[in-house]
Amino acid sequence: MHPYLNSELVRVQQAEIRRQVDQARAARAMLDSSRSPRRITFAKLRRLALITIDVRGWRPA
Protein backbone atom coordinates (compact mmCIF):
# COMPACT_ATOMS: atom_id res chain seq x y z
CA MET A 1 0.00 0.00 0.00
CA HIS A 2 1.16 3.52 -0.72
CA PRO A 3 2.70 5.09 2.43
CA TYR A 4 0.51 8.17 2.12
CA LEU A 5 -2.68 6.12 1.98
CA ASN A 6 -1.53 4.11 4.97
CA SER A 7 -0.79 7.17 7.12
CA GLU A 8 -4.08 8.73 6.03
CA LEU A 9 -5.91 5.60 7.15
CA VAL A 10 -4.18 5.72 10.54
CA ARG A 11 -5.03 9.42 10.89
CA VAL A 12 -8.69 8.78 10.14
CA GLN A 13 -8.81 5.89 12.62
CA GLN A 14 -7.21 8.01 15.34
CA ALA A 15 -9.67 10.84 14.69
CA GLU A 16 -12.52 8.33 14.90
CA ILE A 17 -11.27 6.92 18.21
CA ARG A 18 -10.90 10.45 19.58
CA ARG A 19 -14.44 11.24 18.51
CA GLN A 20 -15.80 8.14 20.25
CA VAL A 21 -13.88 8.96 23.43
CA ASP A 22 -15.24 12.52 23.36
CA GLN A 23 -18.74 11.13 22.85
CA ALA A 24 -18.35 8.80 25.82
CA ARG A 25 -17.03 11.63 27.99
CA ALA A 26 -19.93 13.87 26.99
CA ALA A 27 -22.42 11.11 27.81
CA ARG A 28 -20.82 10.54 31.21
CA ALA A 29 -20.78 14.28 31.94
CA MET A 30 -24.47 14.41 31.03
CA LEU A 31 -25.19 11.53 33.40
CA ASP A 32 -23.15 13.10 36.20
CA SER A 33 -24.78 16.50 35.85
CA SER A 34 -28.35 15.25 35.72
CA ARG A 35 -30.06 15.93 39.03
CA SER A 36 -32.06 12.71 39.07
CA PRO A 37 -29.94 9.91 37.60
CA ARG A 38 -32.79 7.43 38.02
CA ARG A 39 -34.63 9.09 35.17
CA ILE A 40 -32.00 7.93 32.74
CA THR A 41 -33.00 4.31 32.42
CA PHE A 42 -31.07 1.43 30.93
CA ALA A 43 -33.55 1.38 28.05
CA LYS A 44 -32.76 4.99 27.18
CA LEU A 45 -29.03 4.32 27.25
CA ARG A 46 -29.49 1.23 25.10
CA ARG A 47 -31.59 3.13 22.57
CA LEU A 48 -28.95 5.85 22.46
CA ALA A 49 -26.27 3.22 21.85
CA LEU A 50 -28.30 1.58 19.08
CA ILE A 51 -28.90 4.93 17.41
CA THR A 52 -25.19 5.69 17.59
CA ILE A 53 -24.37 2.30 16.10
CA ASP A 54 -26.93 2.88 13.35
CA VAL A 55 -25.50 6.28 12.47
CA ARG A 56 -22.04 4.73 12.29
CA GLY A 57 -23.35 2.24 9.77
CA TRP A 58 -22.85 -0.77 12.00
CA ARG A 59 -25.52 -3.29 12.83
CA PRO A 60 -26.01 -4.58 16.36
CA ALA A 61 -24.94 -8.21 16.63
- pLDDT, residue 44, reads 77
- Local structure of 34: helix, strand or coil: coil
pTM, two decimal places: 0.42
30-60 residue pLDDT tens: 777 666 556 667 777 777 777 665 666 655 5
First to last CA, the chain: 31
